[in-house]
């Protein structure tokens, strides 16, 4: 199989390099097998978790497995606040609130999603800076299939605060991600 020789060569060339599979979208059985055969963690995006079929949705935290990486969102998604404000359906918002056990508002959406990501059993947790800073759709990095307006957002000098850094550090320590 061509994938076997490809991954063998990659491992020989980069023996300590970590790799992951962007397993978003339609995933065929051969992709799943290749990931398993090569020990490639996949991506678990929390923004995909709260639609229909929540009980069995692989993106829902209770269905996560350790050999994966959890994200609140990715560079190709809206920010979590942008998702909550404009992209999440009423049913997704309702499921999110039921999942966390309290009403989710604009002021709690990012914190709730970050806490779920940190608490996941996934091996790694990646939080976009826009979500840490609780930024809306104006801070989105990329809109796939658009030729302009992408990759423009930057962290401002006033965006980082000691309070926010302490909160993330404490959560990182609490959930053993430090």
Per-residue pLDDT of the chain (178 residues; tens, 9 = 90+): 678 899 999 999 999 999 999 999 889 999 999 999 999 999 999 999 999 999 999 999 999 999 899 999 999 999 999 999 999 999 999 999 999 999 999 999 999 999 999 999 999 999 999 999 999 999 999 999 999 999 999 999 899 899 999 999 999 999 999 8
Number of domains in the chain: 1
Structure tokens at 30: 């051969």
- In a domain, residue 35? The reply is yes
Structure tokens at 62: 């209770």
Structure tokens at 41: 């963690």
Residues whose CB falls within 8 Å of the CB of residue 28, separated by 6 or more in sequence, listed in order: none
- In a domain, residue 6? The reply is no
Tell me which residue range forms the domain holding 124: 18-174
- In a domain, residue 2? The reply is no
- In a domain, residue 97? The reply is yes
- In a domain, residue 4? The reply is no
Q: Record the pTM.
A: 0.92
- In a domain, residue 1? The reply is no
Strands across the sheet containing 68-71: 42-45, 68-71, 124-126
Report the C-alpha gap between 30 and 28 in whole angstroms.
5
């Amino acid at each position: 199989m061509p994938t076997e020789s490809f991954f063998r060569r990659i491992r020989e060339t980069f023996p300590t390099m970590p790799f992951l599979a962007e397993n978003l979208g339609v995933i065929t059985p051969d992709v799943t097998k290749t990931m398993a055969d090569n020990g490639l963690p996949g991506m678990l995006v929390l923004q995909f978790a709260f639609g229909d079929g929540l009980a069995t949705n692989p993106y829902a935290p209770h269905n996560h497995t350790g050999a994966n990486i959890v994200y609140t969102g990715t560079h190709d998604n809206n920010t979590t606040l942008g998702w909550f404000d404009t992209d999440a359906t009423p049913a997704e918002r309702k499921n999110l609130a039921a999942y966390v056990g309290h009403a989710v508002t604009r002021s709690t959406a990012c914190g709730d999603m970050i806490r779920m990501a940190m608490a996941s059993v996934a091996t790694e947790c990646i939080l976009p800076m826009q979500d840490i800073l609780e930024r809306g759709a104006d801070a989105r990095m990329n809109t796939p299939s658009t030729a302009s307006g992408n990759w423009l957002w930057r962290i401002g000098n006033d965006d980082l605060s000691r309070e926010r850094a302490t909160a993330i550090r404490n959560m990182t320590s609490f959930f053993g991600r430090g």
